Amino acid sequence: MSELRWNPLLRTWTMVASNRQQRPLMPKDWCPFCPGSGKVPEDYDVYCYNNDFPALTLNPDEPDIEGSELYKVAKNYGKCEVILYSPEHNKTLPSLSVEHIIKLINLWTERFRELSKDDKIKYIFEFENRGEEVGVTMPHPHGQLYAYSFLPLKIKTELDSCKDYYNEKRRCMICDMNREEKEFKKRIIAENDSFISYIPFFTDYPYGVFIVSKSHKGNFTEFDEKEKEDLAMMLKGVTSAFDKLFDRLFPYMMCIHQTPVNCKEYEDSKDYYHFHIEFYPPLRDKNKIKFYASSEMGAWAACNPLSVEETAKLLRDVYER
């Protein structure tokens, strides 16, 4: 059973993908993403791998259930890909060289450009889940890409907020966030010519870093070579600081937010939306989890257990060392 089901309460689609229950437990002495597995090339630096158990597909079947006026159903059209960061099984993003991370950024860019050619695709979401605390069972360094045939609710909410702000003030909200964080200074982690990282005023995770383009650009395809190098340096620096903070592999969800594609409602989003990366790291201390529990999930009423002015100082000190 694989389909999209409409949630009329939240006005968004839920992906149903029961085929993902068929994912096997991988033997400890074998990895499909390592050279020699027969699943990937014998020699690669970074590699795009079609997800074996996708929630979205370019050749969807008809929904298994009939919808109604209230409970609509649709085909689960889209694409799910795995982005392999390295052929080395025990590497992590911060252990890669800047030159290697640039290759990863180029692959993200190429996939964004290629998938955006499909008029049915509305949003391309590149992300990484890292660590057992966020459900990762495959330690080989990798991220994922979902190309949706609809606009995910959180992205739509961000777009609507930025659009309203722009219509009122004629300025980009995220540009103004950068400006305010720079003026306040205490939440900034690092900065280079093209990117700035900070734990924003409002984040619900103690170490919820944003990496934001300093230029008003919407997606990977707009970056020049200098910007890609600066982004690679920032990604390496921030994720290295995460690992050094508690002297352990630091779990996180890394979510890359970019302008939508083939979306008439937001065809002017380049005017008011702005490339940024959001991290959701579940740790609040070395071995303490900040859980997303009833208030957060059931009411969308977030609660941060720590002051981000304090956590930013801790992470910044580690980054600078």
Over residues 105-130, the pLDDT tens digits come to 999 999 999 999 999 999 999 999 99
pTM for this structure? 0.96
pLDDT at 188: 98
* Cβ count within 10 A of residue 131: 18
Q: Which residue has the tokens 């303490």?
A: 288
Residue-wise pLDDT tens digits, 4-39: 999 999 999 999 987 655 555 676 789 999 999 999
- d(CA 45, CA 133) in angstroms, rounded, equals 27
Q: Where are the domains of the chain?
A: 2-19+28-320
CATH code of the domain occupying 2-19+28-320: 3.30.428.10
Length, in residues, of the chain: 321
**What is each CA distance from 252 to 13, 14, 88, in whole angstroms?**
25, 23, 20
CB neighbour list of residue 279: distance below 8 Å, 6 or more residues apart: 205, 207, 208, 209, 210, 211, 238, 252, 253, 254, 255
Q: Is the pLDDT of residue 84 over 70?
A: yes
Q: Which alpha helices (H) appear in 118-195, and where do they start and end?
A: 153-169, 173-184
CB neighbour list of residue 44: distance below 8 Å, 6 or more residues apart: 35, 84, 87
- d(CA 171, CA 232) in angstroms, rounded, equals 28
Q: Which of 7-21, 61-75, 162-176 has the lowest mean pLDDT?
A: 7-21
Residue 43: strand, helix, or coil: coil
Query: Which tokens hold the place of 28?
Result: 């400890």
Query: Is-catalytic flag, 142?
Result: yes
Residue-wise pLDDT tens digits, 219-253: 999 999 999 999 999 999 999 999 999 999 999 99
- d(CA 258, CA 233) in angstroms, rounded, equals 19
Query: One of 140, 142, 274, 276 is an active-site residue; which one?
Result: 142
